[in-house]
Amino acid sequence: MILLRDGTHRIKDIWLADLQSVKVYNPVHAEILPLEYLEKLPLVEEKTTSFYEESGSSKGYVKGSTKIWERLFMGWWAFDWRVGEDKRLGKDINNPPVFYTSLKPWARAESDMRNFEVFLAYWGWNL
């Protein structure tokens, strides 16, 4: 069971459950598709759109994901005007934008989830 936050695509909780116990949540069956499907979401008349911005300085960021308060209060000291914005998880480190998980500007490469082994080591998961 994946519980989404109201009005967003963000996950609130996740757990294993049988169909009988989840009826209080108004469950909706969702098909699991490859990440690339987010780049060709269906519209009317067989047209498609991307979940992400496709050009300019916003390329790779989720449409409408600007976080104005995070930008104002954290962007200046994190040296990232787009702090907190949702972005596309590229296949490798050459596929921008950087998918870092630490606000420390000097730790962006080490905390980039696209290099999962380095990411795990940075956060202390020496597996």
Q: Is the pLDDT of residue 4 over 90?
A: no
State residue 77's pLDDT score.
94
Residue 18 is assigned to a structural domain of this protein: yes
Lookup: tokens for 121: 């080591």
Predicted confidence (pLDDT) per residue in 51-73, tens digit: 999 999 899 999 999 999 999 99
Model pTM score: 0.75
State residue 53's pLDDT score.
94
Counted domains in the chain: 1
Contact 62, 85 (CB under 8 A): yes
Residue 58 is assigned to a structural domain of this protein: no
Task: Measure Cα distances from 25 to 9, 10, 20, 21 in Å.
Answer: 16, 16, 11, 9
State residue 3's pLDDT score.
85
**Residue range 113-117: mean pLDDT, rounded:** 90
State residue 23's pLDDT score.
77
Residue 61 is assigned to a structural domain of this protein: no
Query: Count of CB atoms within 10 A of residue 97's CB?
Result: 18
